[in-house]
């Protein structure tokens, strides 16, 4: 049952991506409409039928996406703008209730993942559908408006939408390739073990730097914890639970400083149509650095 439900959610996601592809093909003002439409159609096939495709076919589709990006054949194109007057009027009418769908999404996803056996992926899928229905009822939007906003948001996101999947794959490849062990050997040859403050600083800073490179603290965590966290901090007497917790959130400091973290930094730029592509990151870097220094201090005093 769980597998069928997850498959249904992926098929639904594939259908939504297919709509984005069709609308991209219809965008005659976009000079790269063929490549853009093809990009979204390929994404729809991968998400909707990925489990049914041979690995070679899936790999070939990913290569095609890469070639489309290489030759700059993926462009957002012309997306119909939101009626600002109507949106502002609706926002004033709803007030703080405008945040209800987002809150419901988080609560429903948490409850399903924690109190059922359905798992996180299905929980997020169901929660998204529930929050969409609530938003639909709350805003009194027409079906046409829901359709319009759905494909508009996806098309505005552009290639940033595929980055999280690629980064997750990169983390798995790094771990399987033994990058953690290699990094541990290099670090051990440069810095001596036994200095707790140095070990804590190395671990926290390395988590932030690898997250900047990989765009994903979860992917960096496995590599850096094995390479530095365990031999340089835990092995020196550090509490594993505290070290792991603060190590992960040290990685989140790196998330604030990298365009590779598409969901947090690149996606807002695309959706808000910001002129400065690094605008979000520029505002977050000072805070991230301060937070990273605080992490080093907290880990040193709390873990030992």
Write down the domain spans for the chain.
2-70, 85-141, 163-303
Could you tell me if residue 274 is left (phi over 0), alpha (psi between -120 and 50 degrees) or otherwise beta? beta
Q: What average pLDDT score do residues 195-199 get? A: 88
Task: For residue 174, give every residue at least 6 positions away whose Cβ sits within 8 Å of its Cβ, in sequence order, or none.
Answer: 180, 214, 219, 223
Bigger pLDDT: 290 vs 114: 290
Look at residues 213, 283, 300 and name the one whose alpha carbon lies nearest to residue 251: 213
Q: pTM value?
A: 0.68
In the Cβ-directed half-sphere of 19, how many Cα atoms lie within 13 Å?
14
SS (H, E, C) 78-102: CCCCCCHHHHHHHHHHHHHHHHHHH
pLDDT of residue 163: 67
* Distance, CA of 241 to CA of 166 (rounded, Å): 29
Q: What is the mean pLDDT of residues 110-129?
A: 87
pLDDT grade, residue 302 (50/70/90)? very high
């Amino acid at each position: 049952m769980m597998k069928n439900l997850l498959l249904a959610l992926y098929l639904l996601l594939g259908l939504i991506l297919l709509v984005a592809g069709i609308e991209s093909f219809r965008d005659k003002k976009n000079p790269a409409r063929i490549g853009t439409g093809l990009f979204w159609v390929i994404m729809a096939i991968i998400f909707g039928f990925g489990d049914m495709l041979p690995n070679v076919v899936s790999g070939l589709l990913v290569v095609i996406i890469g070639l489309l990006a290489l030759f700059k054949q993926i462009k957002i194109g012309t997306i119909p703008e939101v009626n600002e007057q109507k949106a502002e009027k609706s926002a004033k009418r709803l007030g703080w209730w405008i945040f209800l769908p987002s809150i419901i999404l988080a609560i429903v996803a948490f409850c399903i993942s924690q109190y059922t056996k359905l798992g996180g992926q299905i929980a997020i899928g169901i929660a998204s559908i529930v929050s969409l229905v609530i938003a639909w009822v709350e805003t009194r939007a027409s079906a046409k408006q829901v359709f319009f906003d759905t494909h508009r948001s996806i098309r505005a996101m552009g290639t940033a939408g595929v980055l999280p999947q690629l980064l997750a794959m990169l983390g798995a490849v790094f771990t399987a390739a033994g990058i953690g062990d290699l990094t541990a050997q290099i670090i051990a040859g440069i810095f001596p073990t036994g200095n707790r403050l140095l070990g804590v600083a190395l671990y926290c800073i390395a988590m932030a730097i690898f997250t900047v490179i990989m765009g994903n603290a979860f992917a960096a965590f496995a590599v850096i914890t094995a390479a530095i966290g365990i031999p340089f901090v835990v092995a020196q007497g550090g509490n594993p639970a505290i070290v792991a917790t603060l190590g992960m959130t040290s990685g989140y400091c790196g998330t604030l400083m990298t365009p590779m973290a598409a969901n947090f930094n690149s996606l807002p730029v695309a959706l808000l149509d910001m002129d400065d592509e690094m605008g979000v990151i520029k505002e977050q870097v000072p805070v991230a650095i301060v937070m990273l220094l605080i992490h080093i201090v907290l880990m040193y005093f709390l873990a030992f």
